[in-house]
Amino acid sequence: MLAEWISAALPNVRLAPLLKATQDTLYMTAMAGAAVFVLGLLLGTALYLTSPGRLLANRPLYWTLSTLTNVFRAIPFIILLVLLIPFTRAVVGTILGVNAALPALIFGAAPFYARLVELAFREVDRGVIEATRAMGGGIGTVVLRVLIPEAAPALVSGLTVTLIALVGYTAMAGAIGAGGLGHLAYLEGFQRSRRDVTLAATLAVLLIVFVIQFLGDRLARRLDKR
Amino acid sequence: MITLDQVSKIYRAGGNKIAAVDEVSLTIPAGRVTGIIGQSGAGKSTLIRMLNGLEKPSSGSVLVAGRDMGRASGAELRKARLKIGMIFQHFNLLWSRTARANVAFALEIAGIPRAERRARVEELLRLVGLEGREDSYPAQLSGGQKQRVGIARALANAPDLLLCDEATSALDPQTTDQILDLLSEINRRLGLTIVLITHEMHVVRRICDHVAVMEAGRVVEEGLVSEVFAAPKQPITRRFIRQTSEEGGFDPALAPPEGALLRLTYAGEGGAAQDSAFSEAVLKLGLRANLLQARLSQTLEGPSGEIVAHLPDPAQARALAEFLATRGIGVDLLREG
């Protein structure tokens, strides 16, 4: 009954390609997301520590990191994809497929997450950091045992926002050859005038985004003991 | 224990130099409770942070247990800080950790093995009276309980020195007294040195042996609490002493409009008995004096008393002041008449 109704409403949609595209989008989002989490955390920590008035305040270094971050954040993603083609070919060996999308996804999203990490760390009470130093804690203790755990809910919320942005980026990457739901919606759906395929791909993207948001919110709430 | 020699801390704000701490020389005795009192901006916060190296002096030396805190290396400083506990006005606990885990944090920093940490944390939480709340997060604790966690954490590595940065300023009066009594008890039981900074005379009166009064970066008066209170030399000290009286509610506006007003303070050993000097003076000098207010309050060295008297004749007020001064009673002329 339901299957009949679906095939009537979406006559061109085939389950296998839809699932494959969903899987590709999830793969790109997860792989890029993992790398963005690590790189963004490192860059965000460096930004925070070197910013004026913080533990390793260093104006030239902060300025350099900050400018680099802003430049990568300012480049529109579709342009970044094209700009990074030579780099991608050198590193991945091809400019097609899900893996070829990863460098651009990471370069596009890591600076964004780094800013969110910096912001999250700024919200950590200076008094707690002072108390840690007064107890004899060094920079490593401050970062690993104070900043990250105390900022954990904000780090998770930031990651949620970043992952959702990444899903959007994978769609753009898909349109120029990475595969996934963006590819399905644009090349298989739009360009071949199969509106139902575009619609199905859109619904799959929405589902992914809602699940990420739901899980992210839940984890952030659980971590928040304030 | 602690010796500060010609210590200054200069901040540059724009083109101006501001001395937060200005040529302070001070000796803080071991095993005692020393209070540094001053209004906000007097430099006491900067001063106490130099004792554990959170602030470096611009000049002068800060010796704590023989170590020059201003010149110690990073590693040396971290090692020294394990033996210097600190508690804060806003507690500064990690909200992501339970009471137990907050106390354990200090032990983790010191590299104490997990098994040992457990037992020590239990012992510390018992010491500060937090049995039953070990697994609560700071957000689930009252202000007083949070400060108890802070105290347990500060005592975790058995420090020789405990620094208290306005530790009771965020607490209500009743909780303040409980925390002060706990600090006093810890001082007696563990024999550690306590240095506290405050803007409240009540704190100094209740638990301090020694007091240093700060104003505009300088220590303007210091000594035993009993002596400094009996004979305050600086206007700022008198202002602070008046502050505690005002907490007691004496309002000069309620006094008769004519005549002199005197505040008499007596403290120290046998303090409570000294108020007989007042009636003695009244009888001997044949004075006409009205008692407006009299009260006793608890201090470290026993009760300390205060009398506010109204004398219609200003000449008699001066005679009374002279007589009482010879008996070691503090006299403060509130109104000359």
pTM above 0.90, yes or no: no
**Residue range B305-329: average pLDDT?**
85
Determine the Cα–Cα distance for residues B171 and B288; give it in Å rounded to an integer: 43
Do B103 and B148 share a structural domain?
Answer: yes
Phi, psi of A117 (to 5 degrees): -65, -45
How far off is chain A from B162, nearest CA to CA, in Å? Answer: 11
User: Helix A195-223 to helix A148-173 angle, to the nearest 10 degrees?
Assistant: 170
Element (H, E) at B204: helix B201-207
Do B307 and B159 share a structural domain?
Answer: no
B92 touches chain A (CB under 8 A): yes
Any idea what the CATH number is for the domain that residue B207 is in?
3.40.50.300
Q: Do A134 and B82 touch (CB under 8 A)?
A: no
Indicate the residue of A127, A225, A226 with minimum beta-carbon distance to B90: A127
B242 located within any domain = no
B244 located within any domain = no
Do B324 and B212 share a structural domain?
Answer: no
B146 located within any domain = yes
With beta carbons less than 8 A apart as the criterion, state whether A146 and A124 touch. Answer: yes
Determine the Cα–Cα distance for residues B57 and B6; give it in Å rounded to an integer: 10
B13 touches chain A (CB under 8 A): no
Cα distances (angstroms) measured from residue B205 to each of B17, B148, B168, B251, B328: 35, 21, 14, 21, 18
Indicate the residue of B79, B95, B109 with minimum beta-carbon distance to A150: B95
Do B185 and B70 share a structural domain?
Answer: yes
**Which pLDDT score, from 0 to 100, does residue B22 have?**
94
Total tally of structural domains belonging to chain B: 2
B243 located within any domain = no
What SS3 state is found at B292?
A: strand
List Cβ<8 Å contacts ≥24 apart for A209-214. A209/A164, A209/A167, A212/A160, A212/A163, A212/A164, A212/A167, A213/A160, A213/A164
B277 located within any domain = yes
| Interface test with chain A among B93, B94, B108, by most A beta carbons within 10 Å | B94
Determine the Cα–Cα distance for residues B320 and B264; give it in Å rounded to an integer: 10
Q: For residue range A183-199, what is the model confidence (pLDDT) as tens digits?
A: 988 888 888 888 888 99
B167 located within any domain = yes
Q: Which residues from A are below 8 Å from B82, CB to CB?
A: 135-136
B277 Cβ neighbours under 8 A, 6+ residues apart: B266, B324, B327, B329
Q: Which is higher by pLDDT, B293 or A133?
A: A133
B109 touches chain A (CB under 8 A): yes
Determine the Cα–Cα distance for residues A6 and B52; give it in Å rounded to an integer: 71
Any idea what the CATH number is for the domain that residue B303 is in?
3.30.70.260
Do B232 and B265 share a structural domain?
Answer: no
The 10 Å CB-count burial string (b at 16+, else e) for A164-183 is bbbbebbbbbbbbebbbbbb
Q: Does residue A226 register a pLDDT over 90?
A: no
How far off is chain A from B94, nearest CA to CA, in Å? Answer: 7
Handedness of CA A204, A205, A211, A214 (dihedral sign): negative
**Which pLDDT score, from 0 to 100, does residue A186 have?**
86
Do B261 and B113 share a structural domain?
Answer: no
**Residue range A188-212: average pLDDT?**
91
β partners of residue B28: B2
How far off is chain B from A183, nearest CA to CA, in Å? Answer: 43
Q: Do A146 and B94 touch (CB under 8 A)?
A: yes
**Which pLDDT score, from 0 to 100, does residue A79 have?**
93
Nearest to A102 by CA among A179, A201, A203: A179
* Domain end call among B212, B236, B260: B236
How far off is chain B from A69, nearest CA to CA, in Å? Answer: 30
Q: Does residue B246 register a pLDDT over 60?
A: no
Two tokens, residue B176: 């303040």
B166 located within any domain = yes
Residue B159: half-sphere exposure toward Cβ, Cα within 13 Å: 33
Nearest to B314 by CA among B330, B334, B293: B334
Amino acid at B317: A
Cα distances (angstroms) measured from residue B215 to each of A57, A63, B40, B224: 31, 40, 9, 18
What SS3 state is found at B134?
A: coil
**Residue range A121-137: average pLDDT?**
97
Determine the Cα–Cα distance for residues B76 and B79; give it in Å rounded to an integer: 5
DSSP annotation string for B19-68: EEEEEEEEEE-TTSEEEEE--TTSSHHHHHHHTTTSS--SEEEEEETTEE
Q: How confident is the model at residue B249 (pLDDT cuts 50, 70, 90)?
A: low
B223 located within any domain = yes
Do B285 and B215 share a structural domain?
Answer: no
ipTM: 0.88
Do B90 and B6 share a structural domain?
Answer: yes
**Which pLDDT score, from 0 to 100, does residue A108 have?**
94
Q: Do B137 and A136 touch (CB under 8 A)?
A: no
Q: Do A136 and B86 touch (CB under 8 A)?
A: no
End-to-end CA distance of chain A: 49
Q: Which residue of B has its CA nearest to A224?
A: B96
Q: For residue range B11-28, what is the model confidence (pLDDT) as tens digits?
A: 988 888 889 999 999 999
With beta carbons less than 8 A apart as the criterion, state whether B260 and B335 touch. Answer: yes
* Domain end call among B172, B203, B236: B236
Structural domain boundaries, residue B261: 252-335
**Which pLDDT score, from 0 to 100, does residue B287 have?**
87
Do B283 and B143 share a structural domain?
Answer: no
Q: Which residues from B are below 8 Å from A154, CB to CB?
A: none
Q: Do A137 and B109 touch (CB under 8 A)?
A: yes
What SS3 state is found at B167?
A: coil
Element (H, E) at B326: helix B314-326
* Domain end call among B209, B236, B263: B236
Number of C-beta neighbours around residue B2 at 10 A: 18
Q: Does residue B273 register a pLDDT over 60?
A: no
- Residues written for chain B: 337
Handedness of CA B93, B98, B102, B108 (dihedral sign): negative
CATH fold for the domain made of A16-223: MetI-like fold (1.10.3720)
Q: How confident is the model at residue B6 (pLDDT cuts 50, 70, 90)?
A: very high
β partners of residue B16: B13
Q: How confident is the model at residue B86 (pLDDT cuts 50, 70, 90)?
A: very high
Q: How confident is the model at residue B275 (pLDDT cuts 50, 70, 90)?
A: low
Do B299 and B205 share a structural domain?
Answer: no
